[in-house]
Amino acid sequence: LESGPSAGVIGAAWIGQRAGRPNVIAFDVGGTTAKACLVRNGRHAVVPEFKADTYYPVRIPSIDLAEVGIGGGSLPRIDSGR
């Protein structure tokens, strides 16, 4: 769960450190959600649990991701239907 956005946070922290910018915001846009995480002094926050699908508690330490919007994996359009 959340492995893609979590990996993005770790990668953003790594790049930020090498660029001399240990304070960054990692931002991940997937197919269904957009998530963000604040990295301070090269470290991300960890929470003791989170809720999967907004309802189901997962009681393991996880990177603190904030859902900030919808994803961009699907782009709707209307055509003539031909």
Token pair for 20? 């001399």
* Sequence-ordered list of residues with C-beta below 8 angstroms from that of 80, at least 6 positions apart, any chain: none
Pairwise pLDDT comparison (42 vs 2), residue with the higher score: 42
d(CA 24, CA 73): 24
Using a 10 angstrom Cβ sphere, with 0-12 exposed, 13-18 middle and 19 or more buried, the burial of residue 59 is exposed
In whole angstroms, give the CA distance from residue 11 to residue 8.
5
| C-alpha span between 65 and 63 (Å, rounded) | 6
- pLDDT for 6-53, tens place per residue? 999 999 999 999 999 999 999 988 878 889 999 999 999 999 998 887
Q: Is the pTM higher than 0.75?
A: yes
Which residues 6+ apart lie within 8 Å of 2 measured at CB?
35, 50, 62, 63, 65
pLDDT reported for residue 61: 93
